[in-house]
Amino acid sequence: MSKYFCPYCNSKYQFKSMSNTGKLLCGLCGEEMIKKSFINFKQIVSLIIVLTLILPLFYTFVISIINRGQMRKDAYQGSNTELKKLYLVNT
């Protein structure tokens, strides 16, 4: 349901009344009520800015979790080759 507000009156004291033509009027000042949009331009811009800051962090976190098993495998293989070289040199 759409929300309507009077741009001139305090939002605490507003009440709606219907005119003869079917328009909503402010009960205090008699001005026509304005339809408030669900999302305005400022909210869209701020959402884009927040996403550009958070998505790279989320992406690196997910990639680090995915590659964690591969990193352990590489480290284990590297230590095995070093041990084999040391064993061959000592014998």
pTM: 0.45
Task: Encode pLDDT of 14-66 as tens digits.
Answer: 767 777 677 888 887 878 888 887 888 999 999 999 999 999 999 999 988 88
Q: Give 64-85 pLDDT, tens digit per residue.
A: 888 876 766 655 555 555 555 6
Category of 17 on φ-ψ map: left (φ > 0), alpha (ψ -120 to 50) or beta: beta
| 81 close to 73: Cβ distance less than 8 angstroms | no
